[in-house]
Structure 1
Amino acid sequence: MTVLDIDGIDTYYGNSHVLHDVSLTLAEGEVVALLGRNGAGKTTTMRSIMGVTPPRRGEITYRGEDIVGKAPNEINERGINLVPEDRRVFPTLTVHENIVLAHKLAADPRPVEEMYELFPVLDGLRRSNAQNLSGGEQQMLAVARALVQRPSLLLLDEPTEGLAPVIVDDLRTMLQDVVEQDVTVLLSEQNVTFAFDLATRGYVIDTGSIVFEGSIEEIREREDLLEQYLAVSPEEVA
């Protein structure tokens, strides 16, 4: 079953045309990567889905319903949750307060304690203010806050941005547990190796246009795509 169908969207910031005829689909239970360099249009695609920057043309259909023009909170209520690249945790609230607040706003939330089972590092930080967490800990909190609302579609925007390699490894392990939950995931990433470990299919975006779509194995084997659009060598993703 198709969960998300984006058909030919064009998105602008003011007069600046950022996304050009972008189309992609996600099926139930898939983990799909949206790959590209910084500024390629990945975040704008996520913002378009969530209604933060609605497209001027094209359609975005979620479970058969056109969601273009709906407010972000309405889209969230339908089961789509975005973890933005800047995390946006509430800095002066504790870890536990951040998760509980998200829990209270959801119609059918998961138990809060499940989040500590998925992210055990957060368990010992329950009383710590979010502003005192490391970047990796804040990222885990942002994902936990999204998951507690029981989304059926989780949008992860650049989850490894600014994280040390050892933290990226920890996050990868935890997200591998997350993707085994009953949730469909669209993952935007510059870290190609990280994305390849989680996704089974991918889209490559460049200057606001989709230039390739296929399985992760197909992308891995395309030296031209890796070098021209993703700035990695085949050896790095072998």
Structure 2
Amino acid sequence: MSSIVEIRNLHAGYGRAEVLFGVDLDIREGAVTTLIGRNGMGKTTTIRCLMGLLKPRDGSISISGADMTGAPPFKVAQAGLGLVPEGRQVFPSLTVVENLRATARARDGGWSEADIFDAFPRLAERKGHYGFQLSGGEQQMLAIGRALMTNPDLLVLDEATEGLAPLIREEIWSMLDRLKQTGLSILLVDKNLDELARISDRYYVIEKGKIVWTGETRDFDGGRAEVEQFLHL
């Protein structure tokens, strides 16, 4: 299985503060890759570098074999990456339909508005509502739908279910399982190990800006206690 993203020796930070210290990450085509760690360990910084929102201080990022180190966000999006950001960040003054259309990229056989509404019936019921009128769970559904409307080769989700009600979380996890079955490549940040274990193929644990544990499903099943130590569970 080839890699859609390869990150090598990534260093990054903010001002004088160094956050990442040589992160290596491989995201394979058709797999669900999970990046986990406690708050403040560098998960979001890694994603910001990948999506072109933060310029690395050192290291390299390649997408589908092309060097994309320090490329601007629109180039990363054109390369096939779709982001569901932490905090959802839907457009509050646009309707559900307008949010879905704002960054849409058509592809034959790809995601359409009808597909999104079929996947998330709650959004269909609220298609004329503005972003600020939606609940947190509905906003997260919309953020996922908006990213899918770009018809990405890799879907990146930062804190996919944080702060959501249990029923909404279950709906999101079910959707992610469906996406996995389609063969979509996914990079997922979340804290729920039980749910991650249902769908993840490869795991990376980040601690103080360094990858301290990595493994596939069989490794995680046998080494979960070690992973939980890093997460202080």
Q: What letter matches 2:177 in structure 1?
A: Q
Q: Distance in 2 between matches of 1:213 and 1:65?
A: 24
Q: What letter matches 2:157 in structure 1?
A: L
User: Per the alignment, in what secondary structure is the counterpart of residue 34 of structure 2?
Assistant: strand
Alignment of 1:158-237 (within 5 A): 158-232=159-233
Asked if 2 retains the 8 angstrom alpha-carbon contact of 1:81 and 1:153, the reply is: yes
TM-score, normalisation: structure 2: 0.93
Aligned to 1:235: none
Q: Distance in 1 between matches of 2:59 and 2:190?
A: 24
Q: Distance in 2 between matches of 1:183 and 1:54?
A: 27
Report the CA distance between 1:167 and its aligned residue: 1.7
Deviating beyond 4 angstroms after TM superposition, the runs of 4 or more aligned structure 1 residues are: none
Report the CA distance between 1:227 and its aligned residue: 3.3
User: Per the alignment, in what secondary structure is the counterpart of residue 13 of structure 2?
Assistant: strand
Q: Distance in 1 between matches of 2:49 and 2:11?
A: 9
Aligned to 1:114: 115
Asked if 1 retains the 8 angstrom alpha-carbon contact of 2:154 and 2:187, the reply is: yes
Alignment of 1:62-73 (within 5 A): 62-73=63-74
Q: Distance in 1 between matches of 2:216 and 2:65?
A: 24
Q: Distance in 1 between matches of 2:153 and 2:92?
A: 27
Aligned to 1:5: 6
Aligned to 1:29: 30
Q: What letter matches 1:56 in structure 2?
A: R
Structure 2 unaligned residues grouped into runs of 5+: none
Q: Distance in 2 between matches of 1:121 and 1:206?
A: 37
Asked if 2 retains the 8 angstrom alpha-carbon contact of 1:220 and 1:226, the reply is: no
Structure 1 unaligned residues grouped into runs of 5+: 233-238
Asked if 1 retains the 8 angstrom alpha-carbon contact of 2:19 and 2:42, the reply is: yes
Q: Distance in 2 between matches of 1:217 and 1:7?
A: 24
Asked if 1 retains the 8 angstrom alpha-carbon contact of 2:213 and 2:227, the reply is: no
Q: What letter matches 1:136 in structure 2?
A: G
> Which moved further from structure 2: 159-168 or 56-65?
159-168
Q: Deviations over 1:69-126 (max 9, x none)?
A: 21011111111111111111001211111112222xx263632211112222211111
Q: What letter matches 2:57 in structure 1?
A: R
Q: Distance in 1 between matches of 2:225 and 2:65?
A: 36
Asked if 2 retains the 8 angstrom alpha-carbon contact of 1:118 and 1:178, the reply is: no
Aligned to 1:131: 132
Q: Distance in 1 between matches of 2:169 and 2:183?
A: 23
Aligned to 1:156: 157
Aligned to 1:97: 98
Q: Deviations over 1:145-165 (max 9, x none)?
A: 000110001110001111122
> How many residue pairs get matched?
230
TM-score, normalisation: structure 1: 0.91
Q: Distance in 2 between matches of 1:56 and 1:27?
A: 24
User: Per the alignment, in what secondary structure is the counterpart of residue 110 of structure 1?
Assistant: coil
Q: What letter matches 1:28 in structure 2?
A: E
1:140 aligns with 2:141: yes
Asked if 2 retains the 8 angstrom alpha-carbon contact of 1:32 and 1:185, the reply is: yes
Q: What letter matches 2:90 in structure 1?
A: V
Matched residues, percent identical?
40
Alignment of 1:10-21 (within 5 A): 10-21=11-22
Aligned to 2:78: 77
